[in-house]
Structure 1
Amino acid sequence: MEFFYRDIVKILQMNHAISISLRQVKRYLKEMNLARRKDYSNIRSVFNFVHTQVTSYGPAHGYRWMYQKCKRHGFKIKRDHISLMLNTIDPEGVYLRARRRLKRREYFSRGPNFCWHLDSYDKLKRYGLCINACIDGFSRKIIWLKVGRSSSNPKVIARYFIDAIEEHRGHPYSMRGDMGTENGLVAVMQTLFAGDEVTIPFIYGKSTMNTRIESWWGILRKKCCQVWISAMKGLQERGQFSGDKLDINLIQFCCMQLLQVPFFSICRNILPSNMSSWQ
């Protein structure tokens, strides 16, 4: 077991009635050739790990983040050594990070309704409030933003899609979503609507790569959802929400419409001209 130096001082004083200063503890440990941080990992193994991470993720990780990654993977090494490795492996990335000039990926869309991005927001799902949204990639217009009893049922998401097509009097050229089963019917309908003219009518990918809708979730949490997340956590901490079916049904009955009202307001007030920070 590893103790901090201050912990050693307190343990000696409380358990053994030995009063000793922090400086004395450090001196005694040094004389006995003892240290809290020893047995560092093999440098070559750590270097290979860092090289793999840089190759996989590019210059996005600084030495602090890479140091934490090494710790999580069981490597024991000094942070200065990580910095030196990054300077050797990726000097250009280190230079760009120092100047805050990292080149971010750019999003491109040919025009309105070229690609709709859809996804589900699960921060309130445990309380029975299941949120699903779709956004136009070019104009960043909110196509739909709905809260319901389920965001995993393909029929529910398909209903949102059909309502949006009726409202906008047309369908998008393509759509993007994750591999979840809830998008199955939407993908089938979009494929039928697009016909043979579109090579890939529905693009599957990870949610983290669905940049337009992921950016929107950050905006939604700041504008609305954080208050609800805090309120629901408060109910749970006070023992007023146990997570059983009855509690979930009560939350849905009392709060679903209350949450949908600010969603309508957000969709009207947050226009593309007000979202330049998304770029």
Structure 2
Amino acid sequence: MLAEVTLQMDAHGIGTDSASRGGRPRYNIPAVQLTHMRDLGFSWMAISRMLSVNIRTLYNHRTRLGLVDYGSFTNISNDELDRLITQVLRQTPGSGETYITGSLRGRGIRVQRWRVREQLRIVDPVGRALRGRRAIQRRVYNVSVPNQLWHIDTNHKLNAWGFVFHGGVDGYSRCITYLRCCTDNRAATALQLFQGAVDEFGLPHHVRSDAGSENVDIARFMIENRGANRASFMVGRSVHNQRIERLWGEVNRVVSAYFKDLFLFMENVGILDSTDPLHIRALYHVYLPRVNRSVDEFVRQWNNHSLRTMESRSPLQLWTVGMLQLPQHVRLNHVHVQPPYYHHWDVDLMQINPMIDDGNHGIEHFLTACDLLQRYD
């Protein structure tokens, strides 16, 4: 993500394509830069303003690069749109119109809002009616620039079955920098996820969190890289960690609630015993990839959904525009870190494919994993 923004800033300079001829040299605007900014949902007028290029000059470059119609509405049938919306709702049943639009945009599909609204009314009429009854009173909260302050925290909505969500969000843009479901709440896990986000988005100036022990390694990392006695890592109550707490409300509604109801159902009918280590191990193998698929879908939705109070820009758009306005030495002030943390499973369980989504919610795969582990126990 940071590399694409750096490429965008490089295009502000003037190339030397016509140095041997008189007149003003031609702007050098790479095609990959225009396609990336268009994929984020920016209009051509907004792109011309960000690059400080006249809209007619930009049009000439688009014509030369064959990008005149790039980023226009996708020619997709209603049946295909229904299939995609149903697929998204299967992963995140609580998603509404803006989240569905963000999910489609994250897949490179642009459709009119009225089409999403009409198809959603057909595919999910009950959920649409329930979402319309909720009204949220939001407080005003502002951070000056991207990467000025990140909010991090862990969510324990599924902790009864050993699942923990680790997440971080940029305070300026609301962009999710990392979000992952793991099976532990260790400081090393939180640090590796945080380092993966730093490698992609850059090193924040400040981090705000609560006093949980899982944040100790992140605090050391921030102090080592940003310095002491400058609020590199701020500790406070959860009520002051507004951005991430607001995000958890959406994660709970769109992702966690579905799996919580499913696990409670499995316990009520006697399929799952949360006190049996064997059952928990099988649950991890079958459902952790499924939960993280839903998490990935939610991140795509959130980072690409429009914000009414921010001129309908998405979190990724806000982050990109904000980074474009920063000086280059500030933008490139980041460190290279290790890749994100992932779990590695025993070879005994690999014959059960947890990535298959056959509509049975994984219950049959869970029972098969339990039988296999009992034979090896």
Q: TM-score, normalised by structure 2?
A: 0.43
**Matches of residues 182-193 of structure 1 in structure 2 within 5 Å?**
182-193=214-225
Percent identity of paired positions between Structure 1 and Structure 2: 24
Q: Cα deviations across residues 42-62 of structure 1 (Å, max 9, x unaligned)? A: xxxxxxxxxxxxxxxxxxxxx
Q: Deviation of residue 217 (structure 1)?
A: 1.0
Q: Which amino acid aligns with 2:259?
A: W
**Which amino acid is the alignment partner of residue 219 of structure 1?**
E
Q: Which residue of 1 aligns with 2:282?
A: 250
Q: Of 202, 207, 213, which residue of structure 2 is paired with 1:175?
A: 207
Q: SS state of the match for residue 251, structure 1?
A: helix
Taking structure 1 as the reference length, the TM-score comes to 0.58
1:146 alignment partner, SS class = strand
Contact 1:118–1:133 (Cα < 8 Å) also in 2:
yes
Which residue number corresponds to residue 34 of structure 1?
none
Q: Which residue pairs with 1:262 in the alignment?
A: 294
Q: CA deviation at 1:239?
A: 2.5
- Alpha-carbon distance in structure 1 between the residues aligned to 2:308 and 2:158: 27
Provide the residue aligned with 2:143 in structure 1: 109
Residue 154 of structure 1 contacts residue 185 of structure 1 at CA under 8 Å; is this kept in 2? yes
Aligned with 2:199: secondary structure? helix
Equivalent residue in structure 2 for 1:119, among 133, 153, 156? 153
Alpha-carbon displacement from aligned partner over 1:173-208 (angstroms, at most 9, x marks no partner):
100111010000000101111125x71111101223
With over 3 angstroms needed to count, the CA separation of the structure-2 counterparts of 1:216 and 1:158, relative to structure 1, is: same
Higher deviation after alignment, 157-166 or 235-244: 235-244
1:229 to partner: Cα distance? 1.0
Name the residue aligned to 2:134: none
Task: Answer whether contact 1:128 1:249 (CA < 8 A) is retained.
Answer: no
Is the Cα–Cα contact under 8 Å of residues 132 and 147 in structure 1 kept in the other structure? yes
- SS of match in other structure, 1:116: strand
Runs (5+) with no aligned partner, structure 2 = 1-136, 311-377
2:252 & 2:138 partners in 1: Cα distance? 23
Structure 1 unaligned spans of 5+: 1-102
- Where 2:286 maps in the other structure, the secondary structure is helix
Distance change in 2, residues 1:205/1:272 (3 Å): farther
Letter of the 2:280 partner, please give it. I
CA distance in 2, matches of 1:275, 1:233: 34
1:155 corresponds in structure 2 to: 188
C-alpha RMSD over aligned residues = 2.1
Equivalent of 1:212 in 221, 243, 250: 243
**Residue of structure 2 aligned with 1:137, choices 158, 171, 186:** 171
- Report the number of matched residues: 173
Q: In structure 1, the residue corresponding to 2:150 is in which secondary structure?
A: strand
Match of 1:164 among 197, 216, 223: 197
Q: Provide the C-alpha distance between the structure 1 equivalents of 2:294 and 2:172, rounded to a whole number of angstroms.
A: 24
Q: What SS is found at the alignment partner of 1:109?
A: coil
Query: How many angstroms apart in 2 are the aligned matches of 1:276 and 1:181?
Result: 36
| Alpha-carbon separation, structure 1, partners of 2:269 and 2:138 | 44
Q: 1:272 Cα shift?
A: 6.3
Post-superposition offset of 1:163 = 1.0
Q: Which has the higher contact order (CA 8 A, sep 6+)?
A: 2
1:1-279 paired onto structure 2 within 5 Å: 106-150=140-184, 152-168=185-201, 170-195=202-227, 199-244=230-275, 245-271=277-303, 274-276=306-308
Please report how far the alpha carbon of residue 145 of structure 1 lies from its aligned counterpart in structure 2 after TM superposition.
0.7
C-alpha deviations, 1:100-133, integer Å up to 9, x for none? xxx9753221111111111111011111221111
* 1:128 and 1:251 in contact (8 A); partners too: no
Mark the CA change 1:221 to 1:105 in structure 2 (over 3 Å): closer, same or farther.
closer
Q: Which structure: larger Rg?
A: 1
Summarize the Cα distance change of 1:265–1:104 in structure 2 as closer, same or farther, 3 Å threshold: closer
Asked if 2 retains the 8 angstrom alpha-carbon contact of 1:139 and 1:272, the reply is: no
Q: Which amino acid aligns with 1:158?
A: L
